[in-house]
Amino acid sequence: MERDELVAAYRGYIACLNRQDWDELGRYVGEEVRYNGERVGLAGYRSMLEGDFRAIPDLRFHIELLVCDPPHVASRLAFDCTPVGVLFGVPVNGRRVRFEENVFYEFREGRIASVLSIIDKAAIAAQI
Amino acid sequence: MERDELVAAYRGYIACLNRQDWDELGRYVGEEVRYNGERVGLAGYRSMLEGDFRAIPDLRFHIELLVCDPPHVASRLAFDCTPVGVLFGVPVNGRRVRFEENVFYEFREGRIASVLSIIDKAAIAAQI
């Protein structure tokens, strides 16, 4: 895919997450997707995202910075949310937290094949 | 700068860090550089890096993945090192740890103007 096409696909993916439109996830994410080096597959990836929305009912993915260099996308995602219980080992319990994620995606045949994510968990702990 | 020029500048920057060639740092880093939103300036940035090498004498920056979309570079850096004491609050004390950093850079007039970094500190804690 060309740069503009890849940017559009990535924005479509983020919109899909924000709609929690899990039946559409396979349009954007490959069957054999890997997350931080581990093969979780589309079903495992969907489960992970569903779990994220259970933990953070008002979860919303906001693209703060998008760097696209086919076949890779790098994105800085910003979160401003109120997780219900314990998040990444931190007892947030409904308080508002803001944090970022710096994440790389590799696309193959129009779909995400690999995700390498680092979430700023220390920022969450510092706010609680 | 064009993509290839920016990639070359970024690789030059990483080589400069690995040589600990602090007098050359200003070729790559702007006087008004911001680190995670805070204006640290070239002198503050240099001090931070010198501190990193004191904490981790065998520190070496290895580019695992480079995504370049002018004026931005996103890089996944891999570290395999033996920090001497406490690192990010974790008493590493000379043990070997491996961890990653996902980091975005904005270049302006050929130099790094802003750095948005997330280091996988949780990975270090999990290894100790």
Task: Tell me the pLDDT tens digit for each residue of A64-105.
Answer: 999 999 999 999 999 999 999 999 889 999 999 999 999 999
ipTM above 0.85, yes or no: yes
CATH architecture of B3-127: Roll (3.10)
B54 pLDDT more than 90: yes
Mean pLDDT (chain B, rounded): 97
How far is B120 from B128, CA to CA, in rounded Å? Answer: 14
Check pLDDT > 90 for residue B1: no
Is residue B89's pLDDT more than 90?
no
pLDDT tens-digit readout, B67-79: 999 999 999 999 9
| pLDDT computed for residue A89 by the predictor | 87
User: Does the pLDDT value for residue B95 go beyond 90?
Assistant: yes
User: The whole model's pTM is what?
Assistant: 0.97
Between strands A111-119 and A29-35, the pairing is: parallel
Closest residue in chain A to residue B121, using alpha carbons only? A122
Does A120 sit within 8 Å of B76, measured CB to CB? Answer: no
Give the residue extent of every domain in chain A: 3-127
Give the pairing of strands B29-35 and B111-119. Answer: parallel
A32-41, B33-42, B87-96: least confidently modelled range: B87-96
DSSP string over chain B: --HHHHHHHHHHHHHHHHHT-GGGGGGTEEEEEEETTEE-HHHHHHHHHHHHHHH-TT---EEEEEEEETTEEEEEEEEEE--SSEETTEE-TT--EEEEEEEEEEEETTEEEEEEEEE-HHHHHHH-
Q: Count CA atoms closer than 13 A to A97's CA, side-chain side.
A: 27
**Contact flag A102-B117 (C-beta cutoff 8 Å):** yes
Residues of A with CB under 8 A from a CB of B: 3, 65, 67-69, 72-74, 76, 88, 100-104, 116-122
Q: According to the model, what pLDDT value does residue A92 have?
A: 94
C-alpha to C-alpha distance for B79 and B96, rounded to whole angstroms: 10
